[in-house]
Amino acid sequence: MSTTEPGTVTAGVALDVDGLTVRFGGAVAVHDVSLQAPIGRITGLIGPNGAGKTTTFNACAGVIRADHGRVRLFGENVSHLGPAARARRGLGRTFQRMQLFASLPVAVNVGLGREAGLAASGVLRQLFSRPGDRTRVAEAVEEALDLCGLTAIADRRVGTLSTGQRRLVELARAYAGGFPLLLLDEPSSGLDDRETERFAAILRTIMERRRPAVLLVEHDMSLVMRVCEYLYVLDFGELLFEGTPEQTLASEVVRSAYLGAEEGLEAAERQAGAI
């Protein structure tokens, strides 16, 4: 387990969750969960199906309100704020079920990430642009397309793309937004091994270029082992374990709970040995 005391805000922490509890009616979906996502680190949130990962993720993003606990972004308590206000404070995200405009070209979808960031900086920015905004958007789109290998298909409608390509469009849109905190919700869902490897390489490049804080919710242990430096493991809505990927793989508690089988962890161990 981590030596950091729950509730302690460490310097450079983008996301700090302290004692999070979420109930749906009489059912407790998440109970007393604390975690941190520091700047410059990819932090993983893993666990079996129904462990509470998505609920925790949505509470961090402001999609749902916690019954107890606190969520802080860059030291500010945002527990009472919704998704738009949290985005204005630097939180960007992708979705497990991709939220893209299928009828619009790739470049336009990516540009919306940057335009949304500019509009969110103030009410007047939603009505009037500043000199240079168009250039800033174009530059952000060009960089994001190049980073994610999408330049050649920039003019194609998103609805014609493969799942792997659409995953990259969503990542490019979040990157173009310039958010210092990224929440990635199962980004490898629907990807094959080759696409997952490519996605991991792009994530590592993003970390090298901008050093954001990243919270990754993911089932694919091969991706987790490729990119994450620290892991939180949930089970039945509670924090079961936290530590480095190596510590997590070695944990008998995690082995007994994670997916109810050894296959996933054995594959992760093979991946860890190949890194």
pLDDT at position 134 is 79
For residue 44, the cross-strand partners are: 216, 231
β partners of residue 13: 38
Average pLDDT estimate for 127-146: 79
- Cite the DSSP H helix spans in the chain: 53-61, 83-88, 106-119, 133-147, 163-176, 193-210, 221-227, 245-250, 252-257, 263-274
1-80+183-275 and 91-179 share one fold: yes
Domain ranges of the chain: 1-80+183-275, 91-179
pLDDT value at 155 more than 90: yes
68-111 pLDDT, tens digit each = 999 999 999 999 999 989 988 999 988 877 789 899 999 999 99
pLDDT of 2 reads 39
Q: Is residue 133 scored above 90 in pLDDT?
A: no
- Angle at 31 (CA atoms; ends 25, 246), nearest 5 degrees: 140
**pLDDT-based confidence at 128, cuts 50/70/90?**
very low
Specify the CATH number of the domain 1-80+183-275: 3.40.50.300
Using a 10 angstrom Cβ sphere, with 0-12 exposed, 13-18 middle and 19 or more buried, the burial of residue 99 is exposed
Joined together, the tokens standing for residue 137 give 């958007």
Q: Rounded to an integer, what distance in angstroms lies between the CA atom of residue 58 and that of residue 168?
A: 21
**pLDDT at residue number 118:** 57
pLDDT in tens, 30-81: 999 999 999 999 999 999 888 999 999 999 999 999 999 999 999 999 999 9
> How far, in Å, CA of 273 to CA of 66, rounded?
39
pLDDT band at 165 (very low <50, low <70, confident <90, very high): very high
With tokens 């949304």, the residue in question is 116
Beta-carbon count within 10 A of 70 CB: 16
Contact 42, 226 (CB under 8 A): no
pLDDT at 203: 95
With cut-offs at 50, 70 and 90, classify the pLDDT of residue 123. Answer: very low
CATH architecture for segment(s) 91-179: 3-Layer(aba) Sandwich (3.40)
pLDDT tens for each residue of 180-230: 999 999 998 888 899 999 999 999 999 999 999 999 999 888 899 999 999
